Amino acid sequence: MATIKRRSDRGNRWEVRYRDPEGKQRARLYDRKVDAERFAATTTADMIRGTYIDPEAGRVTLADFAVTWQARMAPTWRVATAAGVANSLEQHILPVLGRRPLATIRKADVEALCASLALAASTVRTVHQHLGQVLGSAVEDGLIMRNPATKARLPRLEAPRAQPVPLDVVERIHDALPAWMAVAVPIGIGAGLRQGEASGLTVDRIDFLRRTMRVDRQLVSRFVPAPVLGPPKTDSSNRTIPLADFLLDSLADHLRRFPAGPGELVLRSPAGLPLDSDRFGHQWRRAVRAAGAPGLGYHSLRHTFASTLLSNRVSVKAVADWLGHANPSITLKTYAHLMPADEEVARAVLDAALAPPAATLRTEPGARIAPECAPDVHQAGGAGA
């Protein structure tokens, strides 16, 4: 039970004394009695509910806690995830909030940080996600009572609608790329690979006999000292994709011209270097400019792959599996506007399954009359029929 006493030796301030759940004696001073009473009541209630947080625990700075949190979490992360989190903390979060004690960070501080970032809205949301993970862990560790990043207002995310690339543009990009990289185009439109997945594709992942491609890793090159093969973006990104003949022919021709062993990368520079995001991006940007489509990303070829299948009525579930989406709803959200309208298909299906025979008309449940026996409403009912 907390006690309140006025301390003349402390400038007539009000002292709250209590024992924490571990039996340690605690004391807090307040200028006003009402503030002391409020703290005493809240602290007592928290200890009864088992939600008491040691005020001293929240004095750990965000920077100090982030170091121990990263060390603890690193073994559970993919290489790309660890690198992305480190980049968010070092470049965006810690320079602003790193010296702040955890207990002093408020939702307004999180919102102000996010609003100050001169980044794309999607990147801001990633930074916010990483900050929320750090603070959420601090809650779980009993250092703070609640996560101030929860429900913080963020810049509105305007997701661009996925659009396929016209085939004439695809051909111009293919022709503008150097020969040792041109196969990236049929890989993109024929298998829907992400750039990291295309760069991490090795020969042994292509089964020419079964006409399939296995995607189970990617080339990780952002925020790491050197490119390394790592797991794909998500668990659902592990997938097997059926390959069309044009892609098999393109891959076979590429490997004839640029031989590679079973475990070697399909895409390599003339010096044998992997095409990390920088090398790949440099060549790609040159090619799309030459093709008259500046700013077009490699990911647009993935959209072309998906939209081509969906517009020709391949099932959403199958396309989601081949894209590596965790749920078909993600595929629908991204590509529904590219799918053909189904009104005429619906009419044909309903007519075939449910329409009565053409030679009869239904009048009432269980009764049918031939059309020639039907009364002439104009004669029988007159003008008021």
Question: What digits encode the pLDDT tens for the residues 36-58?
Answer: 888 888 878 777 766 666 666 66
- The answer, yes or no, to whether residue 371 has pLDDT greater than 50, is no
Per CATH, 61-140 and 167-337 having the same topology is answered no
Render pLDDT for 234-243 as a digit per residue (tens, 0 to 9).
888 999 999 9
- The answer, yes or no, to whether residue 358 has pLDDT greater than 80, is no
Query: Which ranges of the chain would DSSP assign to H, the alpha helix?
Result: 33-49, 62-73, 79-88, 94-97, 107-116, 121-140, 167-176, 184-191, 195-199, 245-257, 277-290, 299-311, 316-323, 328-335, 343-354, 377-381
pTM assigned to the model: 0.66
Write down the domain spans for the chain. Answer: 3-52, 61-140, 167-337
- The answer, yes or no, to whether residue 5 has pLDDT greater than 90, is no
| Cβ contacts of 287 within 8 Å, gap of 6 or more | 173, 176, 177
- The answer, yes or no, to whether residue 353 has pLDDT greater than 90, is no
Residue 155: its pLDDT value, please? 82
Q: Which of 29, 98, 21 is nearest to 54 (CA)?
A: 21
Query: What span, in angstroms and rounded, lies between the C-alpha atoms of 296 and 137?
Result: 39
- The answer, yes or no, to whether residue 22 has pLDDT greater than 80, is no
Least confident of 25-34, 98-107, 292-301: 25-34
Give the DSSP letter string of 73-141: HGGGS-HHHHHHHHHHIIIIIHHHHTTSBGGG--HHHHHHHHHH--S-HHHHHHHHHHHHHHHHHHHHT
Token pair of 155 as six digits: 């810049």
Tell me the CATH class for 61-140.
Answer: mainly alpha
Render pLDDT for 71-80 as a digit per residue (tens, 0 to 9).
999 998 888 8
Architecture of the domain whose range is 167-337: Orthogonal Bundle (1.10)
